[in-house]
Amino acid sequence: MAYERLLIEAYKNDVDVYEKTMKTRNKGLYGDNVIWINDNIETSIEKACVLAEELGHHHTSSGDILDQACLGNKKQERLARSWAYKELIPLKKIIGAYKEGVKNKYELAEYLDVTEAFLIDALKRYKEEHGLYTNLGKYTIYFEPLGVLELFDNNK
């Protein structure tokens, strides 16, 4: 499970993780090597997505970035989310899903153990970063519409 793996990642990076009831709309917060996950989150899959983003803040952010009206804070938020997307949905896992016969975004989210919303946001970010597609080895990953093309060598 991704949540347990990320808890180990946090431990290895000297980051304490606590689940507690939060009165705000925040699902998670990071500060001073401590991550709080809202214990109202019902599934470990969603908790993993939140934990990944908060670990992204540990790896990429500095200072108080709660005020998202500030451009610098928005940039740090984007970096943390990008870190989370690459951690939970690396491009090679999309190729692995293709090889396993995954057919749509719902199945892909299930295969990757992420929420559909997290997957959709990750694919949007990858599209912003790479354009409509990117190549990885003998595979081309299309972000819109989502698909994987495998190139074959006819000379073999």
Half-sphere exposure in the Cβ direction for 60 (13 Å, CA): 20
Q: Which residues contact 28 (CB under 8 A, 6 or more apart)?
A: 35, 36, 37, 38, 50, 51, 53, 54
My answer on whether 65 and 108 are in the same domain is no
My answer on whether 19 and 77 are in the same domain is yes
Asked whether the predicted pLDDT for residue 4 surpasses 90, the reply is yes
Residue matched to tokens 């793996």:
5
My answer on whether 94 and 82 are in the same domain is no
CA distance 156 to 147: 25
Residue 49: per-residue pLDDT: 97
Helix (H, G, I), strand (E, B) or coil at 110: helix
Residue 68: per-residue pLDDT: 62
Residue 62: per-residue pLDDT: 61
My answer on whether 14 and 57 are in the same domain is yes
Half-sphere exposure in the Cβ direction for 113 (13 Å, CA): 15
Q: What is the dihedral of CA 43, 49, 52, 54, to 10 degrees?
A: -90
Question: How many folded domains does the chain comprise?
Answer: 2
Quote the domain boundaries for residue 38: 1-88
Mean of the pLDDT values across residues 6-11? Answer: 97
pTM: 0.90
My answer on whether 82 and 117 are in the same domain is no
Asked whether the predicted pLDDT for residue 64 surpasses 80, the reply is no
Q: Residue 67: pLDDT band by 50, 70, 90 thresholds?
A: low
Last residue of a domain, one of 60, 88, 116: 88
Give residue-wise pLDDT tens across range 71-80. 666 787 889 9
Q: Residue 135: pLDDT band by 50, 70, 90 thresholds?
A: very high
Residue 77: per-residue pLDDT: 81
Q: Residue 26: pLDDT band by 50, 70, 90 thresholds?
A: confident
CA-nearest of 132, 129, 141, 130 to 98 is 141
CATH of the domain at 10: 1.10.10.2910
Half-sphere exposure in the Cβ direction for 143 (13 Å, CA): 19
Asked whether the predicted pLDDT for residue 65 surpasses 70, the reply is no
My answer on whether 118 and 155 are in the same domain is yes
Give residue-wise pLDDT tens across range 39-52. 999 999 999 999 99
CA distance 53 to 79: 9
Asked whether the predicted pLDDT for residue 66 surpasses 70, the reply is no
How high does pLDDT run on average in the chain?
91
